[in-house]
Amino acid sequence: MLVLKFGGTSVGSISNMVNVKNIINDGQKKIVVLSAMSGTTNALVVISEHLKLGNTTEALSQINALNEQYSKTVKELLHKPHLVEETNNYVTAIFNDLSAITKEFYTELVHNTIVAKGELLSTFIFSRYLVQEAINAQLLPALDFMRIDKNGEPDNFYIKQNLNRILKHTTPSDIYVTQGFISLDSEGDISNLKRGGSDYTATIIGAALKAEEVQIWTDIDGFHNNDPRCVENTKAISNLSFDESAELAYFGAKILHPQTVMPVRAFNIPVRLKNTMSPESYGTLITNKIHGEGIKAIAAKDAITAIKIKSERMLQAHGFLKTVFEIFERYETAIDMITTSEVAVSLTIDDDRNLEAITQALEKVAKVEVDRFMSIICLVGNSIIYHQDTPNLFQVLQDVNVRMISYGGSHNNISLLVNTSDKIETLKKLHRYVFEDSKEIAKLKADCVLS
């Protein structure tokens, strides 16, 4: 059994849906995990925000506009009368539900119910299209087996038991279509795996079924060695280890949800990243195998806040850091980078929702400085902290104001904190040094070694 996940862009148009159908219709048994059609989740979030603010009229207007888009999609994609009728009835029911929700008191459950509609729509429409094309396929509702526990983590035992039970008692098919992202919570209410969670859904399913391989299909041909939005001439990386891919995903590489590889790495189930628009391209294969030495990729994570906490009480004292960390735990805010000196600790966060409360709590025990609009530049590769060329990076960056460095916390990752205004130039400098093969760069490397 294979598990294939397709993102919103992959099912974002009629032509792309046809392309996905051609990719999956190869005779192999598989589960196909779909995101909402591109733009739908954003539209649903806007509808939810209008309801949160009490703008019911505007929410209804947005619902009607989205309904028209889906009615047009059904009309263009399907032509068999009974499938057209069935799908139109389903779409109508979904949008009637959305309209009815506008009369309810706004809660988190209302929000979760609204944003779940995108995946429900895309999977139903696509499954009916497969049936129209005489493909042995059926819909497998994720809400029948996907559940998170009270801590918001996948309830793996529940998922495995229920998914295998459902498949055992379901009419055998070549292709099962299910929703990414959405799930039930521990109370049985609609919830989700947060933004980008369709990748996570795919590997959770892959682990539960001990799949042969999990494939993540998107609109780019695998992990690139740098951010193609900022740097020219980037290249796809053919092979990565689980550790390397996890570092890249967490520190800014948008192609993969940060938690994606966690469910499958224990079972050594490969994860392959593929391009829906170029299915013949190799993409990136992620396994437990290590390929090559040195830096393989560079990524950047924006919207970082740096917090410097300074207190003479730290000097030769124990318990101070415990006090600091307890404050971040209290406000459920994760720390990305951290450095310490005798009297100060600097750290970064990417979630600033509770920044004011955190700052006020810290100011009771120390002097606090906050810097916003920062970016983390992450360099990833197998054991790069031991590689002979790695120390030369810091000479390459001598003209960049590096605020913090994380070196040695992981054998596979070096992280630099810079001003976001310096991010693109930093990425370009590193790319030229690490990846571009020219006499100029060779000379730069030689100069770094000699200096």
Question: How far, in Å, CA of 24 to CA of 27, rounded?
Answer: 8
* Exposure b/e, 121-131, CB count within 10 A at least 16 = b: bbbbbbbbbbb
- Residue 339: beta bridge partners? 346
Question: How far, in Å, CA of 436 to CA of 450, rounded?
Answer: 20
- Report the top-level CATH class of 2-219: alpha beta
The tens place of each residue's pLDDT in the chain, 451 residues long, gives 999 999 999 999 999 999 999 999 999 999 999 999 999 999 999 999 999 999 999 999 999 999 999 999 999 999 999 999 999 999 999 999 999 999 999 999 999 999 999 999 999 999 999 999 999 999 999 999 999 999 999 999 999 999 999 999 999 999 999 999 999 999 999 999 987 789 999 999 999 999 999 999 998 889 999 999 999 999 999 999 999 998 888 887 778 888 899 999 999 999 999 999 999 999 999 999 988 878 899 999 999 999 999 987 665 667 788 899 999 999 999 999 999 887 889 999 999 999 999 999 999 999 999 999 999 999 998 888 777 777 777 777 888 899 999 887 778 889 999 999 999 999 999 998 888 854 444 444 444 444 4
**CA triple 185-191-193, angle to 5 deg:** 100
What count of Cα atoms within 13 Å lies in the side-chain half-sphere of residue 173?
22
Phi then psi dihedrals of residue 364, to 5 deg: -75, -20
Thinking of the domain 297-450, which architecture would CATH place it in? 2-Layer Sandwich (3.30)
- Residue 6: beta bridge partners? 34, 217
- Residue 349: beta bridge partners? 305
Q: Where are the domains of the chain?
A: 2-219, 297-450
Closest CA to 2 of 223, 161, 202: 202
Residue with tokens 């703008």: 55
State the Rg of the chain over Cα.
24
Question: How far, in Å, CA of 160 to CA of 447, rounded?
Answer: 57
Residue with tokens 């299209």: 129
Question: How far, in Å, CA of 71 to CA of 65, rounded?
Answer: 10
